[in-house]
Chain A
Amino acid sequence: MSAYNANWSLMTPEIVLGILALVIFTIDFMTGVKGKKPFLGRMSIIALLVTAVLVYINRGAGTIADIFIVDHFSTMFKIILLVGVAIVIAISMHYLDKNDDVYQGEFYSLMLFAALGAMLMVSSADLITLYIGLELLSISSYCLAGFKKHNRKSTEGAIKYVVLGGTASAFILYGMSFLYGLTGTTSIIDISQVISSLYVDYPFIVVMSILFMLAGFGFKISIVPFHMWAPDVYEGSPTPVTAFLSVVSKIAGFAIVLRVFFTTFLGSEGVLYDEWTWIIAIIATVTMIVGNLIALTQKNIKRLMAYSGVAQAGYLLVPIAAIFIPSYSIGVIIFYSIVYVFMTLGAFAIITLVTEDSGRDDFSSFSGLYKRSPYMAIAMSVFLLGLAGLPLTAGFVGKAWIFISAAQAGMLWLAGVMFVTSVISFYYYFGVIKQMFMNEPNPNDVELKAPLSISVVVTIALAVTIILGVLPGLMIDWIAYIQW
């Protein structure tokens, strides 16, 4: 099938989002570079939601010349990512309102381009498409991370991010080059058909390529030992961008890890699986331990979220290492991703609100939040307890499902590590909760009024966290039956 008679309509959502992003970009120029532009924020949210609806309408299966694929997997991840970006923009609107020195139009259109990159990534069935999507997302993220031009930490973080992100891309490309050299094709589907027999002849090169790609992807999803950029970049970036990195970048990264590893590297009847499962299990263990232990020592809320995000990435690795049935693992990861997106973004909405109000991002800015805004304090506690995995929150259900799937796959020790380390996480999340409830507000802090956008985000996230915690069947019954 040539590219000319392919079914290009499968790409409608991407094309629409691309056009809308350019439109917003153009409107930005037409209205003057500087100044407050809340309407662009609203337009961006609408653009993302429209795209999400188009993704849903367009959900039928199909491919374009084996390079672009639309299936349940890509549809689900795209919707998660688009909703995630829309929420990030809602948080950003408050942030941009408080920071006049940021060029607003560019900010929003970069977010949209990043979202477009993420969509391409999850839909790619070809290493080149995948790489282009990844770079579109990454380069937009680099710019966003350095958006506070006159802030030293922001610039510094952005430069670190560019250089290290470049290193990671080099790893990925190097890994891909081995695959291409062996198979002569860049199509993931074609590679998966020949990889098993090639593995018999060239185990060395196949494993090398798996490991190089793992290292590169590991950077994007911030797992140990490729996590070191995260705390600095998270701390330096504007808070909504931090939210973007810890949710959208990470989940998109997981989507391509799943796509590449579950399509290509399982091999026929899972012969290749034995090569990497234990490596991922070890990385997951180390990631959970290191992330949670270092988080214990943090005093800055954004750095804390960075390390807790590292730990969460470790939890998400567990079902990749411990595969019971691949499609079952994907279901587990998708459920946890949804839960993670809402809990984390809910927390970040409140973090943005609080840190922008106080101008500081250490724990003490949360002092006495309960007295200043009881709703926000309670919601924040629910999000943090959810991230720690307390029953009746969606976080518990997600973790329990990961746990059960790991036990079914016979990797109980890994699940055990997960629960032991998550006990540690209670300790540091409690540190924040204690600040909010058990300390008095700082002397000149008054009642905290949340703007509409933040309140809406927090309420939606809270509702999802609790509803999926009490009635997880609403989502799980449905996810568990899809053949991913």
Chain B
Amino acid sequence: MIQNAWLIPVFPLIAFIILLFFGRFLKEKASYVGITALALSFILSVIVLIERIGGETYSFVIEWLTFGESTITMGYEVTPLNAMMLIVVTVVSLLVHVFSKEYMREDARIHVFYSYLGLFSFSMLGLVLAPNILQLFIFWELVGLCSFLLVGFWYFKPEAAAAAKKAFLTTRIGDVGLLIGLVLLFNATGSFDYADIFAAVQAGLVNDTMITIIAICIFLGAVGKSAQFPLHVWLPDAMEGPTPVSALIHAATMVAAGVYLVGVMYPLFLASSTAMTVVAYTGAITAIFAATIALVNTDIKRILAYSTISQLGFMMLALGTGGYVAGLFHLMTHAFFKALLFLGAGSVIYAVHHRQDIREMGGLWKRMKLTSITFLIGALAIAGIFPLAGFWSKEGVLAAAWEGGDIFLFTIAVITAFMTAFYMFRLFFTAFTGTFRGDHEPHENTKLMTIPLAVLAFLAIVAGFVNTPLGFVLEDFLTQGLNVGYQAHGELWLAILSLAVAIGGIALAWAMYYKGAIAKDAFSSKLPAVHKLLLNKYYMDELYAKVFVQPTVAIGKFLWDIDRNIVDGIVNLVGRSSKITGRTFAKRHDGQLQTYGLVTIIGGLAIIALAFVLRGYFG
């Protein structure tokens, strides 16, 4: 069946096409089309994974384009890494499809929603199966477009429309870097195929500086997509989209594509220690930066969004310090428990009639048992409590950071782990314990919503067992036929430290938000400036508006003014001649004709003068 892996993305594509044409007749039945397609994709992904475990990498390509002497191919391949990604994407997507049936039930455009989900699943699976980086880029843009459509799904909310645009444009900045890197790579190696690229790099055909430049350009793409500092600003705003979308795209799959990209191009990154350092530091800064914002935020989805940014930073940190398996392992476990947390949040939001402020929740534990239990499992997993999935993968990240030898990075990682446990349980205790503070009495949701939660909770518990000291199964699988260097494993003291930090964070949250032993404003009242800074997310949005957006628009306006007005002034200074010649026909118009003519002539002469001065014809 591995030869038929191309069918995996095709099923959702068919669903998309069906819904595009017949969606309006199917209405709420549209969900069945989407669910069936994803179920088929999931089954096929499982088969492909099993066959891949017992077999070889399979690839199939056809010629797509010939540029002079180089040929560009398109096709698909199944490697250990993408076999794993196929499972992650199809599982989460399938569960989100099921969950949305209930969550989006009242929306009149539910068929449109499912068609977008289908298109997204197709693009994401296509991205994962791509055998070369150009094809990856094409799907990379396509997932970005789907993200735009889905974030702006409720476009009648101005915030949603703005967030959609922001998400697309911010990631485009990273994409420019990626595309430049891609062309440089093609220029240096003559191919877009992963295998050819790595062969050329290993053979020393590309010089070291060029490798570093290419790797950093490619990483820039990952920074945009995976919402790493400083391009993270779009992800929190993207929470304006429907919650199942946040779970699928902005937690489990698309945002992880940046990490996946670094993973796929890993041999290239390994060839440049500078690039590795950049990756590690970007990851570390992002991890702690986003975690601090999550400490004070009160919107349930935004807390999770900042948490996602922080965890993606963790993955980058691991990759940057040589932990290839650790980073990708964390990607996999994170996909499950973060999707669980988002869907849990969706279940809560649905029950409390689309309120998202955790201060207006409280006491949900008694009212929504299953949602609460599964949410708790997700929170414990992300905090890194033994033996849940997050414990194993987080320990891998810490081990990689420790083995990397940079004590600064390791310290940041440990502090972030502490903060993660704290903010997650701040959220949990505030929203799920105590008394209910909202105005609509919430009730547990139907099975359609709770079953996906249960499945994900199960995965959040067991997904970590594939890579434990008892057997590093995932590591052996992922590193098959790859030379990615030594993979660090944590020793016992590290496991104890990691666990202690997690328990410490939970305990502090418990003392502050459950027991009340420490006042809630114990820290914020002592450090009001810091608190305000965090509440305002370090003023990054304002900074960008002032530094990038407003100047760009201002320059545009300025040039536009030159086009219209300023030259007019110059004309008047130059003399009255414009008026005299203008008398014939321009008198009752705006008199700009002479201006344009003058600019044309002055422009021509200026270019000639410039050319002559620079080339030295004037002596």
Contacts and interface: CB of A to CB of B under 8 A. Distances in A.
A182 interface: no
Contacts of B67: 401, 404, 476, 480
A438 B187 contact: no
B552 A424 contact: yes
B360 interface: no
Contacts of A438: 152, 155-156, 161
A184 interface: no
Contacts of B596: 160, 164, 228-229, 232
A168 B176 CA distance: 36
Contact of B560 (A163, A171, A294): A294
A304 B323 CA distance: 49
A75 B10 CA distance: 41
Interface stretch (A49-57, A78-86, A204-212): A204-212
A228 B595 CA distance: 9
B180 A215 contact: no
B490 to A, nearest CB: 41
Contacts of A423: 169, 172-173, 176
Interface string B550-562: 0011011101100
B556 A297 contact: yes
A477 interface: yes
Interface string A202-224: 01100110011011001100001
Interface string B577-619: 0000000011001001101110111111011100110010100
B169 A391 contact: no
Nearest to A229: B596
Interface residues of B, number: 56
B609 to A, nearest CB: 10
A53 to B, nearest CB: 28
A465 B183 CA distance: 23
A390 B140 CA distance: 11
Is the contact region of chain A dominated by helix, strand, or loop, or is it mixed?
Answer: helix
Nearest to A476: B65
A472 B65 contact: yes
B563 A228 contact: yes
B477 interface: no
A294 B556 contact: yes
Interface string B166-189: 001100110010011001101100
A403 B183 CA distance: 8
A407 interface: yes
A316 B419 CA distance: 52
Interface in B301-353: none
A290 B552 CA distance: 11
A206 B161 CA distance: 55
A227 B161 CA distance: 34
A294 B67 CA distance: 34
A26 B137 CA distance: 56
B54 interface: no
A430 B169 CA distance: 10
A390 B604 contact: no
B359 interface: no
B161 to A, nearest CB: 5
A212 B68 contact: no
Interface in B106-141: 137-138, 141
A28 to B, nearest CB: 29
Given A226-B604, A419-B179, A391 B138 contact: yes
Contacts of B176: 416, 419-420, 423
A38 to B, nearest CB: 33
Contact of B607 (A283, A290, A294): A283
B138 A426 contact: no
A450 interface: no
A279 interface: yes
Contact of B66 (A160, A390, A437, A477): A477
A473 interface: yes
B615 A275 contact: yes
A392 B600 contact: no
Contacts of B617: 203-204, 207
A12 interface: no
Nearest to B175: A423
B600 A167 contact: yes
Given A203-B617, A390-B145, A476-B65, A293 B137 contact: no
B491 interface: no
A131 interface: no
A87 to B, nearest CB: 26
Contacts of B486: none
11 contacts: A164-B600, A208-B608, A212-B608, A218-B604, A219-B600, A275-B611, A279-B607, A390-B141, A404-B67, A419-B176, A476-B66
Given A225-B600, A275-B615, 10 more contacts: A164-B600, A168-B600, A171-B604, A211-B611, A212-B604, A212-B608, A215-B603, A228-B599, A294-B560, A473-B63
Interface of A: 156, 159-160, 163-164, 167-168, 171, 203-204, 207-208, 211-212, 214-215, 218-219, 224-226, 228-229, 231-232, 275, 279, 283, 290, 293-297, 328, 390-392, 396, 400-401, 403-404, 407-408, 412, 415-416, 419-420, 423-424, 426-427, 430, 434, 437-438, 471-473, 476-477, 480
Interface of B: 63-68, 137-138, 141-142, 145, 152, 155-156, 161, 165, 168-169, 172-173, 176, 179-180, 183-184, 186-187, 552-553, 555-557, 559-560, 563, 585-586, 589, 592-593, 595-597, 599-604, 606-608, 611-612, 615, 617
Listed from nearest, the 3 A-B pairs whose CB atoms lie closest are A225-B603, A215-B604, A293-B556
